[in-house]
Amino acid sequence: MASSSLKCLSSIVVLTTFFAISLKPCSGHNKTHWNTAGITWYGDREGPGSTGGACGYGDAVAKHPYRCMVSAGGPSLFKDGKGCGACYRLKCDHPLCTKKPIKVMISDECPGCTKEAVHFDLSGKAFGALAKRGKGDQLRNLGELKVSYKRACCKHPKAKIAIHVDSGANPYYMSFAVKFANGDGNFACIEVQPAGGKYLKMEEMRSAVWRLSPGVPLKGPFNIRLTSAVSGKKIVAKGVIPEKWSPGAIYHSKVNFPVQRKQK
């Protein structure tokens, strides 16, 4: 985990992403029970914890729609990278807490967080969000607490899928991070279709990054096909990576998995 002095941005930044699944698994989370976990915090008091986290999101964690409401996960949450992008609700019963749930997304790893079976190393912003108004610093000064938690559906109604191409990508090696998505945040499969070619299955790395080494140069534009790990639902981001793409660039699509609307 890398610390950062970057503060959360309150303005809406037009940076769309995808980490999504389907409606069925999202609605199923409402029926899960609350369990107990330990929490700590790291980084700046009002910051995102880290903008160099193990999941590969970079400074996106400090921008809309996350706005620093993220967490590093202990081994049982990080899951060797498969837990990246998963969302959880947390609530605290301490006298300094509001007792209202907050939602955080796993964006980093805390390999040393093994004191409890489940441990969230929250951003300073998220830890303080559990507190009553004006009590954030007092709560952070406690350092470590017990909270209740359960899995939640990630919802970003106005966001669209985007691809953040890795800085080391080239025509022989395609790799990118998948970001901000509606749903559970886990994929069974991600495939790339180069111009005039067939879909090629990518390999999931120990983070939110997927990679492909085809042995031959690939030409864009590229279609990206995503398969949910829970529902098996597929969506395609057509031409999301253009013909003249650049390492390190973020490319936006016009699609995302659907968001479940609350019933009135």
pLDDT of res. 185: 62
Mean of the per-residue pLDDT values of the chain: 84
- Of 1-10, 73-82, 200-209, highest mean pLDDT: 73-82
Angle CA 233–238–239, to nearest 5: 150
Helix (H, G, I), strand (E, B) or coil at 219: coil
Q: What is the pLDDT of residues 76-85, one digit of tens each?
A: 999 998 888 8
* 74 vs 90: CA distance, rounded Å: 15
Chain centroid to Cα 137, Å, comes to 26
Q: Is residue 19's pLDDT more than 50?
A: no
pLDDT of res. 191: 97
Residue with token string 């986290």: 53
Query: pLDDT class for 37, splitting at 50, 70, 90?
Result: very high
Q: Is residue 11's pLDDT more than 70?
A: no
Phi, psi of 113 (to 5 degrees): -85, 75
**Residues contacting 67, CB < 8 A, separation 6+:** 8, 9, 10, 125
What's the sign of the alpha-carbon dihedral 76, 82, 84, 89?
negative
Q: What is the pLDDT of residues 130-164, one digit of tens each?
A: 999 999 999 999 999 999 999 988 776 677 878 88
Can you give the residue ranges of every domain in the chain?
A: 35-151, 162-252
pLDDT of res. 21: 26
Fold of 162-252: Immunoglobulin-like (2.60.40)
Higher pLDDT pick, 223 / 234:
223
Q: Is residue 178's pLDDT more than 50?
A: yes
**% residues pLDDT > 70 (the chain):** 82
What's the sign of the alpha-carbon dihedral 35, 96, 50, 85?
positive
Taking residues 238-259, report their average pLDDT.
89
- CB of 214 within 8 A of CB of 200? yes
Q: Which CATH class is domain 35-151?
A: mainly beta
* 51 vs 44: CA distance, rounded Å: 11
Task: For 116-150, give the DSSP string.
Answer: SSSEEEEEHHHHHHTBPTT-HHHHHHH--EEEEEE
* 219 vs 214: CA distance, rounded Å: 12
Q: Which of 258, 219, 211 is nearest to 239 (CA)?
A: 219
